[in-house]
Amino acid sequence: MITRFEVDGFKSLRDFAVDLEPLTVFVGPNGAGKSNLLEAIGLLGRLASMSVEEAFKLGRGRVVDQFSLSGGEAGRTIRFAVEVLLRGSPEASAEGTPPPDRYRYELVIERRERPSGVEELTVAEEHLLVVSESKDPARQRIIFRQKEQDQRERRVAIASDLQGREESTFRCPHTHSALGSKLASAERYYLQFDLDEETRHQLAKLKELIDPHTAEYGLIKPILDAKIQKLGIDTSRTREAGWYAVITALTDELSRFRLFQIDAARLRDASERIASTMLAPDASNLPTVLADLPGPVLGEIRADLVSLIPGLAGFDIIPDEASFRIEFKLSGGERLPARLASDGTLRALALLTALRVQPRPSVLGVEEPENGIYPGRLRTLLSLLRESAAPDGDDPAGAALPSTQLLLTSHSPVVLAAFRDRPEHLRFMDLVRRDGHLTTRARPVGELKEPIDGARIASLREVDTLLHAADSEAAE
C-alpha cells in the first residue's frame, strides 16, 4: 500500500506531497490537478516495469508535455518519491530482528540533449531506503543507492548485512530504473558476493565467457549456475538475497497500479474471444474478462450490480462465434443488450469487475466513479468501495492492508456528503500560486483549530463552498 506520494516537475504538480489511506477520495473543482495526480502515480508504476521512454509514451499527451512548464518551456527533471507498506515484507534483517515493512523509493528522471539535438530520457538518481521509527541506527538503512554512472549504464550498490560486510553492486542501463531493469531482464543484475579471492577469481573467469545479451545466454546460464554451486557459493546467506526479495516485492507493488478511464461507448461492443483476461484501462475487453471469471465471483458481481441499478435483475455473458457480449436482464423479464444500456450501468459493471479480477491491482485509480450512477444509489456504490478497500487483516506480518488500495477523484458534492462522517478519507485539491506558477496542492479535510491551519487543512465548509460553486458554474 502506498502511504505517501511525492512528485516535483510533473504537469501542475510541483513540490507536491500527499499522504494516502487504503481508500482516498480526491475532491476539488475541475482543473485542480486530480487527474494529473493519478497520471503521475501511473507513470511511476510503469517506470517500475518498463523502459523510461515506453513509460512516458503511454501517458497522456506528448512526452515533453508531461514535464512542468517554467518560463514557457518544459522543465528537464521530474522527481518522484513514494513510501510503501509491503504486505508480509520478506525477512531482510539479522536473524531474530523483525523485518522492516515500510520503504521509501526515490527516482529522478531527466531529459538530456545529445549533440545532435535529439533528446533522451534517462534515470539520473535512484534510491531505496528503509523507513523505520526505530532509534536503532542499524534499522535506518539504505537498501540500494545509485553509486556511479557512465555514458551507457549506472552502477547501483546494494547494502550488505548488519555486520558491516562489503556492499554488492549491479549494473543497469540509463534507460531503465533498477526496478524496471529487474522486471525486463533479471540477468541485468551482476551481484558481487562476499567471497574469498580465489573463488572471486574463478567466478570472474566464468562470467567472462558469457555475454548476457546473446541468444545463447539462456542455454549457457544453467551451466554457469551449476559451476557456481560446485564452487560452494551459498547466495542465500548474503544480505543482498534478503534485499533482493524486498526489491522484488516493491517492483510488484508499484507495477500493479491500474488507472481506469472507463469509456462507456467501448463497453457496448462485443470483445474478442482471443484477448487478455486482464481488464484493459478503458475496460473495452470487459465481456471476455467476465466470461473467464469463476461462477461464484461472477455471482458476487451480479448481486452488487443489482443493488446499484434500479430495475435490473442481472446479466449474462453471451458467446458468439468469435466474441463475447453482455446482455442485461430486467426485473420484468425483458432482456437488454449492452448497446442499449445506460452509461451508468456499464461503468458500474466495469468498476465492480475491476475490484474482483485476479491478480487484483495493488492500487486502483478511478476518475469520477459517480458519472452516470443514479444519485439515490451512489451511496451504495461508495459503501461497496469502502468495503473493498477495508484492511483484510490476513497479512502474516501482522499489518492490516487492503487487497486493493483505492484512489478516487470527484468534484461531486454528493460524494463529499457520503464521506462527511469519515473525513480522513478525503483530500481536497486546488490550485495556488507559488513562485509565479499555478501549482496543485492537496490538503487533508478536517477541523481547523486555529485560522493559520487553513494553509495545511481544508475545512468541510471550505470544500462545500467551492464544490457547490463549481457545480453552479457547470450548470449555467
pLDDT tens figures, 98-130: 455 789 999 999 999 888 989 999 999 999 988
Name the most confidently modeled range: 76-85, 217-226, 229-238.
76-85
168 or 123, greater pLDDT: 123
* CA–CA gap between residue 64 and residue 75 (Å, rounded): 8
Q: Is the pLDDT of residue 458 over 50?
A: yes
Q: Which three cell numbers stand for residue 117?
A: 539535438
Average pLDDT in the 362-385 region? 86
Instruction: Tell me the C-alpha distance between 81 and 259, whole Å.
Output: 19
Provide the b/e sequence for 111-129 (b: ≥16 CB within 10 Å): beeeeeeeeebbbbebbbb
Q: Return the pLDDT at 94.
A: 41
Answer with the residue of higher pLDDT: 34 or 260.
Answer: 34
Angle at 87 between CA 82 and CA 90, to 5 degrees: 95
Please check the confidence at residue 276 and state whether its pLDDT lies above 70: yes
Greatest C-alpha distance within the chain: 81
Predicted pLDDT of residue 335: 95
Is the pLDDT assigned to residue 10 strictly greater than 60? Answer: yes
pLDDT value at residue 66: 94
Confidence of residue 191 (pLDDT cuts 50, 70, 90): very low
The reported pLDDT for the residue numbered 380 is: 87
Compute, in degrees rounded to 10, the torsion defined by CA atoms 355, 359, 365, 366.
-40
315-347 residues labelled b (16+ CB within 10 A) or e (exposed): bebbeeeebbbbbbbeeeeeebebeebebbbbb
38 and 407 Cβ atoms separated by less than 8 Å: yes
d(CA 210, CA 384): 54
**How confident is the model over 333-341, as a mean pLDDT?**
94
Residue 74, φ and ψ in degrees, nearest 5:
-70, 140
> In the CATH hierarchy, which top-level class contains the domain 260-423+443-475?
alpha beta
Does residue 139 carry a pLDDT above 80? Answer: no
Q: Tell me how far apart the alpha carbons of residues 4 and 50 are, in angstroms, rounded to a whole number.
A: 23
Give 220: exposed, middle or buried? Use CB within 10 Å, 0-12, 13-18, 19+: middle
Bigger pLDDT: 259 vs 400: 259
pTM (two decimals)? 0.81
Query: Tell me, what's the pLDDT at 213?
Result: 46
Q: Return the closest-CA partner of residue 250 out of 84, 465, 117.
A: 84
Q: What is the pLDDT of residue 45?
A: 93
- Please state, in angstroms and rounded to a whole number, the distance separating the CA atoms of residues 393 and 88: 11
Per-residue buried b or exposed e for 382-398, using 16+ beta carbons within 10 Å of the residue's own CB:
bebbbebbeeeeebeee
C-beta separation of 251 from 354 below 8 A:
no
- Tell me whether strands 77-85 and 363-367 are parallel, antiparallel or unpaired: unpaired
What is the rounded average pLDDT of the residues 131-158?
69
C-alpha cell at 416: 463529499
Mean pLDDT of all residues in the chain?
79
Instruction: Encode burial over 442-467: b for 16+ CB neighbours within 10 A, e otherwise.
Output: bbbbeeeeeeeeeeebbbbebbeebb
Among 18-27, 196-205, 345-354, whose mean pLDDT is lowest? 196-205
The domains of the chain are located at 2-178+236-254, 260-423+443-475
Range in 352-366, 375-389, 397-411 the model is least confident about: 397-411
pLDDT of residue 197: 58
| Lowest-pLDDT range of 69-83, 153-167, 211-225 | 211-225
Give the pLDDT of residue 181. 73
**Percent of the chain scoring above 70 in pLDDT:** 74
Q: What single letter denotes the amino acid at residue 202?
A: Q
242-255 burial, b for 16+ CB within 10 Å, e for fewer?
Answer: bbbebbebbbbbbb
Per-residue pLDDT band at 215 (split at 50, 70, 90):
very low
pLDDT, position 88: 55
305 or 139, which is more confident? 305
C-beta of residue 400 within 8 angstroms of C-beta of residue 392? yes
* pLDDT beyond 80 at 474: no
What's the whole-number mean pLDDT along residues 183-192? Answer: 40
pLDDT higher than 60, residue 240? no
Q: Estimate to the nearest angstrom the gap between the alpha carbon of 286 and the chain centroid.
A: 21
173/147: higher pLDDT: 173
pLDDT of amino acid 182:
60
Q: Which residues pair with 82 in a beta bridge?
A: 5, 105
